[in-house]
Amino acid sequence: ARDKKIIELDTLIAQKKQTKELKGIQREIEQNRKDLENAVQGDKQKLRNTLAEHREMQLAFQNSQPQKVIDMVHQVNFTKRKTRDILKYRMKLKSDRLIDLKLRYALYEDRLKYDGQSWLTMLPCERTAHLITGKVNAAILRKEAAIYIRNAYKEMIAIMKKDALYFDAILVSIRNDGLNQGKCMINATKLGQLGAEYLDDRRQDFRFLRRL
């Protein structure tokens, strides 16, 4: 009878210890199941944090999978580049038009200045001055247009660089998150296997203790 009580006491202690261990393993399994779900479907919280500085993107894609967000960022970049190229082309057309109008303006200004005088009636110095003035005005206009185009390009490049840095940071963050989630998925699988083996061992121990 005394041996039976000792065995029952030892069994009770072992059960409490193993129950505590099983609860700990259960918590780990639940956490790793959550991590595994994040690895497969994407960590929504990390994605929201990554997109926190871009409110519109956060609202639109906070519940999407990371790969979808990456594809969207590439599409936005492509669209921005296409829009930039169209704007550059339109700006070139307008710049050419501006140069043409200013050259015409200079020509009309010269005609008003020398109104009533034909080329033959001009003095040699007036003819020379007329030619030089026209060339100087044309050079000035081309210089102004070149400066305008250069400054416009600098502004566009600065904007695109800023966008590139922002979107590159998002892509890097999402890719790193994907790698971390992949590692987490592997660890969760390993731990789940170990937990299943441990649980099976404990069940066998319980069966053995009950038979005593």
Q: List, for residues 124-138, the tens digit of each pLDDT value.
A: 766 676 667 767 766
Give the integer Cα–Cα distance in Å for 134 and 113: 12
pLDDT at 175: 66
Give the integer Cα–Cα distance in Å for 190 and 196: 10
Q: pLDDT band at 94, cuts 50/70/90? A: confident
pLDDT at 83: 83
Q: Which two tokens stand for residue 36?
A: 């595994």
Give the dihedral of Cα atoms 69, 74, 75, 76; nearest 10 deg.
Answer: 90
Give the integer Cα–Cα distance in Å for 44 and 66: 9
Q: Length of the chain, please? A: 212
- Alpha-carbon separation of residue 97 from 102, 107, 126, 142 (angstroms): 9, 15, 30, 12
Q: Do residues 98 and 145 touch, judged by C-beta distance below 8 A?
A: yes
pLDDT at 53: 67
pLDDT in tens, 48-91: 676 676 666 666 666 666 667 777 777 877 888 888 888 888 88
Global model pTM greater than 0.75: no
% residues pLDDT > 90 (the chain): 0
- The H helix count followed by the E strand count for the chain is 5, 0
Q: Which two tokens stand for residue 140?
A: 């000035």
pLDDT at 76: 78
Q: What is the mean pLDDT of residues 194-206?
A: 66
Higher pLDDT, 211 or 83: 83
Asked if pLDDT for residue 29 goes beyond 70, the answer is yes
Q: Which two tokens stand for residue 179?
A: 């790698």
Q: Do residues 189 and 39 touch, judged by C-beta distance below 8 A?
A: no
What is the radius of gyration, based on Cα positions, of the chain? 39
